[in-house]
């Protein structure tokens, strides 16, 4: 997720006068915030990261790890930072909430993002879910205007089939992986494309993934290209996967 953010949002962070990135709900240990800082500073050296946690004990535990460009604050969806952040990343936070709370939380968080204007699309909210070691990950990216894309990312060596990612769908989609819903049709088609690409497995899982995604892109609005596919990623326009109301 960090790698994808640096690649797709690095230019916005570089352009910002004071690029602030929020790691919302960083958890029991501060490592995701520490890693986010390191990743983003490669792309945009002036980036500052603020780790925000609703559990006061977790803020106290993280404070010894504050450093140049990294602080920890107690708070929640109000985002207790001055100004409008360039990035809010919420990994494995909304999965603890009910599905019908998601849109309201998204709206709150999107309203806190840096606005679009003068060659900028504005800040980015990246909200998703992963497995314990981050090898299977699905997230929604939203701008100030609302949801933009859904990204599926996996460590290819350990993938049996694309539907392995289904159990890591973000809260907005995980209950919609049922017949009749777009995300279910997408994952079904992805598995079919993966099966059809089996001959490419002899060149490695990466080649198989690239071939499968290329086929998938004939029917689904894939918004990225081979540079990202090589990383075991694929990004699709949100409207194509959004739940039917």
Ligand X SMILES: C[S@@+](CC[C@H](N)C(=O)[O-])C[C@H]1O[C@@H](n2cnc3c(N)ncnc32)[C@H](O)[C@@H]1O
Interacting residue ranges for ligand X, rule: CB under 6 A:
24-27, 32, 52-55, 58, 76-77, 91-93, 96
24 or 125: CB nearest ligand X: 24
Nearest distance from C-beta of residue 58 to ligand X, angstroms: 6
Q: Are 242 and 140 in contact (CB under 8 A)?
A: no
C-alpha dihedral (93, 99, 137, 195), degrees to nearest 10: 170
- Closest approach, Cβ 39 to ligand X, in A, equals 14
Decide whether 133 or 245 has the Cβ nearer to ligand X: 133
CB atoms within 10 A of CB 212: 25
d(CA 33, CA 88): 11
In this complex, which beta carbon is closest to ligand X, that of residue 127 or of residue 197? 127
Residue number, 96 or 202, with CB nearest to ligand X: 96
Q: Residue 170 has what DSSP assignment?
A: -
Give the residue with the Cβ less far from ligand X, 25 or 123.
25
CA dist 89 and 67 (Å) reads 19
**Closest separation in Å from C-beta 79 to ligand X:** 9
CA distance 56 to 36: 21
Structure tokens at 114: 């840096």
Spell out a b/e string for 140-153, using b for 16 or more CB atoms within 10 Å of the CB, else e. Answer: bbbbbeebbbbbbb
Smallest distance, ligand X to C-beta of residue 55, A = 4
Q: Least distance in Å: CB of 31 to ligand X?
A: 8
């Amino acid at each position: 997720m960090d790698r994808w953010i640096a690649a797709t949002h690095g230019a916005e962070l570089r352009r910002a006068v004071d690029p602030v990135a929020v790691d919302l709900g960083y958890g029991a240990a501060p490592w995701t915030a520490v890693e986010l800082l390191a990743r983003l500073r490669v792309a945009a050296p002036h980036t500052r990261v603020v780790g925000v946690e609703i559990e006061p004990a977790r803020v106290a535990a993280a404070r010894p790890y504050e450093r140049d460009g990294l602080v920890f604050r107690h708070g929640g969806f109000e985002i207790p930072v001055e100004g409008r952040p360039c990035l809010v990343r919420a990994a494995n936070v909304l999965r603890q909430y009910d599905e019908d709370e998601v849109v309201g939380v998204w709206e709150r968080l999107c309203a806190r993002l840096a606005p679009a204007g003068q060659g900028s699309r504005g800040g980015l909210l990246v909200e998703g879910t992963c497995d314990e070691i981050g090898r299977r990950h699905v997230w929604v990216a939203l701008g100030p205007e609302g949801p933009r894309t859904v990204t599926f990312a996996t460590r290819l060596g350990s993938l049996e089939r694309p539907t392995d990612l289904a159990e890591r769908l973000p809260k907005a989609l995980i209950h919609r992986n049922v017949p009749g819903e777009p995300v279910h049709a997408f994952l079904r088609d992805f598995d079919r494309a993966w099966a059809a690409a089996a001959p490419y497995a002899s060149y490695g899982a990466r080649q198989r993934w690239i071939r499968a995604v290329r086929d998938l892109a004939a029917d689904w609005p894939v918004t990225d290209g081979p540079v990202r596919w090589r990383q075991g990623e694929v990004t699709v326009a949100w409207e194509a996967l959004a739940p039917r109301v």
